[in-house]
Amino acid sequence: MKYQLFSYGTRSMSRGGILIDTNWLDLSVAASCIGRDELAALSSVDALLQRWEAAQHELRQLALAVAADESAFSEAKLDPTQLALLAPLVRPGAIYAAGANYRDHVEAMSRALNMSLVLDPKSEGIAPWHFLKAGVANLSGHRGDVPFPARTQRLDWEAELAVVIGRQASSVAVDSALAHVAGYMCANDLSARDNFLRDKADPSSPFRYDWIGHKCFNGSCPLGPVFTPAEFVGSPEDLDIRLWVNGVLRQDSNTRNHLYSVAEQIAHLSERTDLYPGDVILTGTPAGVGMETGTFLKRGDVTKVWIQGLGELETRIV
């Protein structure tokens, strides 16, 4: 029985929830309905991830119980139309983000920027490349309002598959890397393109590039709407991924266009630093970002990221 997890409420007063079929339930109350006190005590997705292997058994039992008798969980039922959904992880660990990791995106950006970019870096022995997004301040949930960042006119969208670590990974091999994944989410790596370069810095300076200004601002990392455990996803390398802006399809691809697979990214990152439960990896974006055509977001625009089996994440720019 498939289940997905979510967080709702406010950042300072958040609660965990579980989605089973069409039943949106408060996780702690639902667990109490069948006497699963240990699960009831783990009232957040963040807490579940800290003991993910053990928590999965409890969550499976809860999902089966709900499927067998929905009426027994009436006290736990929530109205999805009234929920204020947060990012499923309210306090994630590190948020790593892959740059230029879709073949179609690299090809499109090469044309847009009139640059000769390496279209198949892996074949040339080039390792994956990542940057960091900040944590709590950068989060936004489903139907969240993201303030238009100051000092930018070129706010861009990037639909991405988010990977959540559920077991510590230290120098893991590629063929065992996915065993460290707890699950997946939709993500939107919002980017302030015109904050990337420090205009007053010497063009030859290694300090000319501003990755914080480019990628880190309030709400710049929408996640959700739910967290889907890895056991219900299958291969992360064959998922359709799309993004719409105001109902117009802008990105339409599949994760099989990854230059570096999820497993390869985990293996590479874990050679440099241990990955811990609650860490998140954004795995790159496909072709169709605004930078390719000079089309950018403005106040009032609504983006929707959809990934096969993971749901649809909506974000409004205000």
7-43 per-position pLDDT tens digit:
999 888 999 999 999 999 999 999 999 999 999 998 8
Model pLDDT, residue 113 = 65
Pairing mode, strands 280-282 and 130-133 = unpaired
For the chain, the average pLDDT equals 94
Q: Is the pTM of this model over 0.85?
A: yes
Query: Mind listing the pLDDT tens digit for each residue in 70-121?
Result: 999 999 999 999 999 999 999 999 999 998 899 888 787 777 666 667 778 8
Residue 145 to residue 162: CA distance in whole angstroms = 20
Nearest in space to 245 (alpha carbons), one of 195, 164, 302, 284: 302
- Three-state SS at 255: helix
What residue ranges do the domains of the chain occupy? 4-86, 95-317
Residue 261 to residue 279: CA distance in whole angstroms = 17
Encoding tokens for residue 305? 């990221």
Pairing mode, strands 302-307 and 280-282 = unpaired
Pairing mode, strands 95-98 and 280-282 = parallel
Close Cβ partners of 277 (under 8 Å, ≥ 6 residues apart): 49, 50, 52, 93, 165, 166, 167, 168, 182
- H-helix or E-strand spanning residue 252: strand 248-254
Is residue 144 scored above 70 in pLDDT?
A: yes
Residue 171 to residue 110: CA distance in whole angstroms = 33
Domain 95-317 fold is Fumarylacetoacetate hydrolase; domain 2 (3.90.850)
